[in-house]
Amino acid sequence: MKVEIYDPAMCCPTGICGPAVDPTLIRMNDAVMTLQRQGVEVVRYGLAQQTKAFLENKAVADLLHAQGKKVLPVTLVNGQVFRTGSYPAYEELCTALGIEPQAPPVALPMA
């Protein structure tokens, strides 16, 4: 089971740094970490940091040539394009992968 995410250009590989973090990126990062705990291989490619990966994947390169950067992010599940233009929810990825969603980890109170 493998999920590949081709992210638009961001300030860092996850986009969750800086003073005004997009909550969508936080949810996507949480989904990635949960999927990885479930044994799913998840690879993220950043347009600003790993341009070559975008060109080496024919499906992603074709989408970029046809639709431009607005097609990003592109999510592939087991090598097939699953979503373009937005990030899928964790539950949607679980359904596509054929696995059960896990409950989110319980946040411990700060001491």
For residue 100, the model assigns a pLDDT of: 94
For residue 111, the model assigns a pLDDT of: 58
Rounded to whole angstroms, the Cα distance separating 84 from 87 reads 8
* CB of 3 closer than 8 Å to CB of 77: yes
Residues pairing with 77 in the sheet: 3, 80
For residue 110, the model assigns a pLDDT of: 61
Rounded to whole angstroms, the Cα distance separating 74 from 63 reads 9
For residue 65, the model assigns a pLDDT of: 97
Q: How many CB atoms lie within 10 A of CB 92?
A: 16
| pLDDT tens digits in sequence order for the chain, 111 residues long | 999 999 998 877 777 777 777 889 989 999 999 999 999 999 999 998 899 999 999 999 999 999 999 999 999 999 999 999 999 999 999 999 999 999 765 556 665
Reported pTM = 0.86
For residue 76, the model assigns a pLDDT of: 98
